[in-house]
Chains A and B, each alone.
Chain A
Amino acid sequence: MRPKGVKMATISMTVNGKQLSGEAQGNTLLVEFLREELKMTGTHVGCDTSQCGACVVHVNGESVKSCTVFASACDGGTVATIEGMANDDGSLGVIQQAFQDEHGLQCGFCTPGMVMSIADILKNNPQPTEAEIREGLKGNICRCTGYHNIVKAAQSAAATLSGAAQAAE
């Protein structure tokens, strides 16, 4: 709820390649802006206390917890969310497909953040070890799976992506 009489500002950002704008107060969080103003509800709020990582998105190429960043701090920036992870024809992207294949999700609540964190891990380190994957997922909590199949999904996505990169060479 927005208290009456509070100043709003118009902010703009490039979200998944599209230039979008909306209204925000000083204390509007990025995740609130994405979900409530831009109506992109793929990014979840699990804890709202910076612990669970359900809200992970990328801002200017770096993964962040969107519940712990102000929308105004991202004005003019570039944001990537789970909505941009599918292929253009609507089919699942490589990491998403790997979650399905490896049973990397049960209730699915943590999955948007997991997928965004894994995308970040693989961007910086295309062939991570299991330990590196687990370390990279330290900020993501899952109450269902016990993590093993999430790690397998990350490994399978890494293999698919590096196979595709080799084939392209």
Chain B
Amino acid sequence: MYSFEFTRPSDLSVAVDALKGDGAQALGGGQTLIPVLKQRLAAPTTLVDLSGIESLKGIRRMGDMLVIGGGTTHGAVAASGDVAAAIPGLVELTSKIGDPQVRNRGTIGGSLANNDPAACYPSAALALGAIIVTNQREIAADDFFQGLYATSLEEGEVITAVKFPIPAASTYQKFEQPASRFSLTSVFLAKMQDGSVRVGVTGAGADGVFRHEGLEQALSANFSAGAVDGVSVSAEGMSNDLHATPEYRANLVKVMTKRAVEALS
């Protein structure tokens, strides 16, 4: 690791000011950033650790929204009765991220900001139509993800919370890459209050997380595993690596969507 200064403010405004400095970078749970720093793929001059800021942590229900603080750990979401009651798919998702130690440190803000193409949370944010709240503004999930490891966050912008509309039903079906424990191809399926169905796919797209319109239309019209059979999922635009071909991933999109439908039927 290159050397850097380390600060751990307890106040968000102090952190935001510190992040205005040249070469400053936010540290969430460090479960991605610390390995990146070890490989010298990043060279911040100052790390601003957000983990001491209590106002970034916590889960609360606000009307028809579930609001999760940007510094809330995966483990806290997985263990939350409020989340289980409102959006059970988020409990399924967070309880399968990595391992217990990763879940005790890693945060929702860090996961969304990082937008790893195989990360779990981005699929839920897209499928549920989440709103990403920062210290500056609110960003719709559909506008937030900008391709591999890219988001519409500006330099120094901090994710303070994520607002999830509470759906009628939700589930996360993960097909794990067993060595990394990330998603090889996973599907977050949400049945919204108005009856429409939204499908977020992670791990498969060469440009990162995406919604599959064909599957959404078919399932909104007819919520059954059979409806999935009638949709063609193209291998074009799917990623290709030593773990899976684009065709294999395209097939998995259908398989995991069917499992999701069956889980909710």
A and B associate in one complex: yes
A residues near B, CB below 8 A? 3, 6-7, 9, 25-27, 29, 48-50, 53, 56, 62-65, 68-70, 72-73, 75, 117, 120-121, 136, 138-140
A139 touches B102 (CB 8 A): yes
28 contacts between A and B (CB under 8 A): A9-B6, A26-B4, A26-B6, A27-B1, A27-B2, A27-B3, A27-B37, A48-B38, A49-B38, A50-B35, A53-B101, A62-B104, A65-B101, A68-B30, A68-B35, A68-B105, A69-B105, A70-B27, A70-B34, A70-B47, A70-B49, A72-B49, A117-B101, A136-B100, A138-B98, A138-B99, A138-B100, A139-B99
CA distance A3 to B2 in the complex (A): 9
B residues near A, CB below 8 A? 1-6, 8, 27, 30-31, 34-35, 37-38, 47, 49, 51-52, 75, 98-102, 104-105, 181
A-B pairs, 7 with minimum CB distance: A139-B99, A26-B6, A138-B99, A62-B104, A27-B1, A72-B6, A65-B101
Q: How far is the CB of A101 from chain B (nearest CB, A)?
A: 25
Residue of A nearest to B73 (CB): A62
B105 touches A7 (CB 8 A): no
Give every chain B residue within 8 A of A136 (Cβ-Cβ).
100
Q: How far is the CB of B54 from chain A (nearest CB, A)?
A: 13
Q: How far is the CB of B119 from chain A (nearest CB, A)?
A: 15
Give every chain A residue within 8 A of B35 (Cβ-Cβ).
49-50, 68
Give every chain A residue within 8 A of B31 (Cβ-Cβ).
50, 68
Give every chain A residue within 8 A of B99 (Cβ-Cβ).
53, 138-140
Instruction: Give the number of A-B contacts (CB < 8 Å).
Output: 80
Excluding A26-B47, A68-B35, 12 further A-B contacts by CB distance (< 8 Å) are A26-B4, A26-B5, A27-B3, A27-B37, A48-B38, A50-B31, A53-B99, A53-B101, A73-B30, A138-B98, A138-B181, A139-B99
With A53-B99, A120-B100 as known contacts, state yes or no: A62 contacts B4, CB within 8 Å. Answer: no
CA distance A69 to B105 in the complex (A): 8
Q: How far is the CB of B5 from chain A (nearest CB, A)?
A: 5
CA distance A103 to B60 in the complex (A): 46
Among A48, A70, A139, point to the contact of B101 (Cβ < 8 A): A139
B101 touches A7 (CB 8 A): no
A62 touches B1 (CB 8 A): no
CA distance A26 to B52 in the complex (A): 16
A72 touches B100 (CB 8 A): no
A70 touches B181 (CB 8 A): no
Give every chain B residue within 8 A of A69 (Cβ-Cβ).
30, 34, 105
Give every chain B residue within 8 A of A62 (Cβ-Cβ).
75, 104
Give every chain A residue within 8 A of B104 (Cβ-Cβ).
62-64
Give every chain B residue within 8 A of A9 (Cβ-Cβ).
6
A50 touches B34 (CB 8 A): yes
